Chain A
Amino acid sequence: MHIVYPLVVSALLFSIGIYGVLARRNAILVLMSVELMLNAVNLNLVAFDVWFADRLHSGQVFTLFIIVIAAAELGVGLAIVLAVFRNRRSVEIDRLQDLAEPPGPGEEPEPDAAQELEETRS
Chain B
Amino acid sequence: MNLDAVPSYLTPTGQEIVFLLLGAVAVGSALLVVTTRQLVHAALWLVVTFGALAGCYLVLTAEFVAWVQVLIYVGAVVVLLLFGIMLTRAPIGRSPDLDSGNRVLAAVVALATAVLLVTVVIDGFRTAYAPLTEVDGAAKTIGSSIFRTWVLPFEALSVLLLAALIGAIVLSRTDIRGRD
> Which chain A residues have a beta carbon within 8 Å of chain B's beta carbons?
1-9, 11-20, 22-26, 28-29, 31-33, 35-36, 39, 42-43, 46-47, 49-51, 53, 56-58, 60-61, 63-65, 67-76, 78-83, 85-86, 91-94
Listed by A's residue number, 18 A-B pairs whose Cβ atoms lie within 8 Å are A3-B125, A6-B56, A11-B117, A16-B34, A18-B106, A18-B109, A19-B107, A20-B33, A24-B99, A26-B90, A53-B136, A56-B150, A57-B141, A64-B64, A65-B153, A79-B168, A81-B88, A92-B97
Give every chain B residue within 8 A of A11 (Cβ-Cβ).
114, 117-118, 121
Q: Is the CB of B113 within 8 A of A80?
A: no
Measured CA separation A73–B73 after assembly (Å): 13
Q: Determine if B160 is an interface residue (Cβ-Cβ < 8 Å).
A: yes
Give 4 closest A-B pairs by Cβ, nearest first. Answer: A22-B106, A72-B164, A19-B110, A20-B34
Measured CA separation A67–B13 after assembly (Å): 30
Q: Is the interface of A mostly helix, strand, loop or mixed?
A: helix
> Which chain B residues have a beta carbon within 8 Å of chain A's beta carbons?
6-7, 9, 13, 15-16, 19-20, 23, 26-27, 30-31, 33-34, 39, 42-43, 46, 49-50, 53, 56-57, 59-62, 64-65, 68-69, 72-73, 76-77, 80-81, 83-85, 87-90, 97-103, 105-107, 109-111, 113-114, 117-118, 121-122, 125-126, 128-132, 136-137, 141-142, 145-146, 149-150, 153-154, 157, 160-161, 164-165, 167-169, 171-172, 174
Q: Is the CB of B72 within 8 A of A71?
A: yes
Q: Is the CB of A1 within 8 A of B129?
A: yes
Q: Is the interface of B mostly helix, strand, loop or mixed?
A: helix
Q: In the assembled complex, how far is the CB of residue A46 from the closest CB belonging to chain B, in whole angstroms? A: 5
Measured CA separation A8–B121 after assembly (Å): 7
Q: Is the CB of A36 within 8 A of B49?
A: yes
Give every chain A residue within 8 A of B13 (Cβ-Cβ).
1
Give every chain A residue within 8 A of B169 (Cβ-Cβ).
79
Q: Is the CB of A28 within 8 A of B85?
A: yes
Q: Is the CB of B90 within 8 A of A28?
A: yes
Give every chain A residue within 8 A of B89 (Cβ-Cβ).
85
Contact of B49 among A1, A3, A39 (CB under 8 A): A39
- Chain B residue with the shortest CB-CB distance to A7: B121
Give every chain A residue within 8 A of B161 (Cβ-Cβ).
68, 71-72
Known: A14-B113, A64-B142, A64-B146. A23 touches B88 (CB 8 A): no
Contact of A82 among B84, B107, B126 (CB under 8 A): B84
Give every chain B residue within 8 A of A71 (Cβ-Cβ).
72, 76-77, 161
